[in-house]
Structure 1
Amino acid sequence: MAGGNAIRGTRVGAGPMGEAERGEAAPRNRMSYWCSQGHETQVAFATDAEVPDLWDCPRCGLPAGQDEQAPPPAPRTEPYKTHLAYVRERRSDADGDALLEEALAKLRARRGA
């Protein structure tokens, strides 16, 4: 059983500090941001701070804007491409066939020699 001391681990004068002890809070502006899923995020900025146009939604991770009626669209994610897909983007089928024939000719020449 516990020692029965209700204030164990505290020290004299360790109470909640009020605004008088901490000083006044800096003036702030609260801005609302909305994502394409309809989530609203309120962020407090100092009055002299530059307010960003976009903010990441903490609930879904999508970008959020200040216009509730027209939130920014979700970013388009590119599907994973293999090395072969990148090669096919750079070369036509005719170029690929020519390279294949060249490689096969070198291989046949090595095996025949």
Structure 2
Amino acid sequence: MAAGNPIRGSRVGAGRMGEADRGELAPRRRLEFFCANGHTTRVSFAAEAEVPDHWDCPTCGLPGGRDAATPPPAPRNEPYKTHLAYVKERRTDEDGEALLAEALAKLAERRGR
């Protein structure tokens, strides 16, 4: 039961469909990038465009390379460091003990007054 509505399924101002109406597409090349998790990403580039060495995988976010046998390794993420971790990098345990003893001596002196 077709109602004969010519607008159904199209947008306002869409015009006629077809390659001849929209013009020719620029020449393209389709390349594949492979990540360390085994995902394959196919990306289209213009024929004259410069191709990057790495492309981020949309599935897992790891970098992908052009060689399927040797994909680029996952970047090493440094864990979040706490303030104490940074202090321990700058000071030894002996330095910490000396600072603590000095602070306790000052506190005892203030309380003794």
Q: TM-score with structure 2 length normalisation?
A: 0.84
> What is the distance in 2 between the residues matched to 1:103 and 1:83?
19
Secondary structure, aligned partner of 1:49: coil
Report the counterpart of residue 75 of structure 1 in structure 2: 75
Aligned residues, how many?
A: 110
> What is the distance in 1 between the residues matched to 2:43 and 2:11?
35
Give the 3 Å change call, closer, same or farther, for CA 102–17 of structure 1 in structure 2. Answer: same
Please list every run of 5 or more consecutive structure 1 residues that lacks an aligned counterpart in the other structure: none
User: Given residue 26 of structure 2, which amino acid in structure 1 is its aligned partner?
Assistant: A
Report the counterpart of residue 34 of structure 1 in structure 2: 34
Give the 3 Å change call, closer, same or farther, for CA 13–103 of structure 1 in structure 2. Answer: closer
Report the counterpart of residue 89 of structure 2 in structure 1: 89
> What is the distance in 2 between the residues matched to 1:85 and 1:13?
62
Give the 3 Å change call, closer, same or farther, for CA 24–108 of structure 1 in structure 2. Answer: same
Structural RMSD (CA): 2.3
Report the counterpart of residue 98 of structure 1 in structure 2: 98
Give the 3 Å change call, closer, same or farther, for CA 5–90 of structure 1 in structure 2. Answer: farther
Give the 3 Å change call, closer, same or farther, for CA 55–6 of structure 1 in structure 2. Answer: same
Please list every run of 5 or more consecutive structure 2 residues that lacks an aligned counterpart in the other structure: none
Question: 4+ residue runs of structure 1 moved beyond 3 angstroms?
Answer: 4-16
Question: How much has 1:39 moved relative to structure 2?
Answer: 0.7
Q: Percent identity?
A: 65
> What is the distance in 2 between the residues matched to 1:11 and 1:93?
72
Secondary structure, aligned partner of 1:33: strand
Deviations 1:46-94 (A, max 9, x none): 1221111111101111111111000011112222221111111111111
Give the 3 Å change call, closer, same or farther, for CA 16–60 of structure 1 in structure 2. Answer: farther
User: Given residue 77 of structure 1, which amino acid in structure 2 is its aligned partner?
Assistant: N
> What is the distance in 2 between the residues matched to 1:91 and 1:58?
43
> What is the distance in 2 between the residues matched to 1:12 and 1:75?
47
Q: TM-score with structure 1 length normalisation?
A: 0.84
